[in-house]
Amino acid sequence: MNMVGKTILITGASRGIGAAAAREFAVAGANVALLARSTDHIADIAGEIGEKALAIPCDVSRHSEVEAAVAATARTFGGLDVLINNAGVIDPIGDLSDADPDAWGRAIDINLKGVMYGMRAALPGMIAQGHGTIINVSSGAAHGPVEGWTAYCSSKAGAYMLTRGADLENRSKGVRVMGLSPGTVATEMQREIKASGINAVSQLDWSDHVPPEWPAKTLVWMCTPEADAYMGLDVSLREQTIREQVGLV
């Protein structure tokens, strides 16, 4: 999958799926902008990738920072071809009756409003150039409730509707919008879930989770015409047919 000459912006790129995706797109030849609040980690990954990588400190819950990051990426590399809205948090985990309203709202700020901010900043340029791809990292939690995850499920369900709405409005303008539901992935988020001891997901063994390289490779595949049938939808990495198309074993 050749991405030479393409520019990719990835939020939440300091670890997990975001970091793996940055490396995978770089291997495919793309320019990569890595966004995260953890500046040291993205700087290290950008240094590892080399001159085709740009590290940008950014809190996705702040619209002005996201807008500035998109502008800096386009200015550095001459445009933006792909936006990966990957940044997300699982906290707070627990019963809604005990939830901290501020922590609950913070999850919405990152997982839902952060996705909207990325799309709002990237869409005008993509529409003007007549092409672009936006992929929102989704979850099975977008489609069904999970005990103790009211903030996460609500935010992911909202982001899925953003995917569908943005596709409805922008497909005819040349912009491809989809989501990736990666299943359970061996990342720090799964360690937080495990520590909570709440719901069946926390009881899974570490070996049950797929490596972050799997969703990373899938994100690259989703930038190709082979994934066009999934515009406006979530691609589920739980499906064997998807794994086969991506080349995962």
Running DSSP on this structure, what letter comes out for residue 113? I
Peptide bond into 212 cis (omega under 30): no
Q: Which residues are catalytic, by number? A: 152
Phi, psi (degrees; rounded to nearest 5) at 215: -65, -30
Q: With contact defined as beta carbons under 8 Å apart, do 112 and 63 qualify? A: no
**Helix, strand, or coil (residue 196):** helix
The secondary structure of 127-184, three-state, reads HHHCCEEEEEECCHHHCCCCCCCHHHHHHHHHHHHHHHHHHHHHHHHCEEEEEEECCC
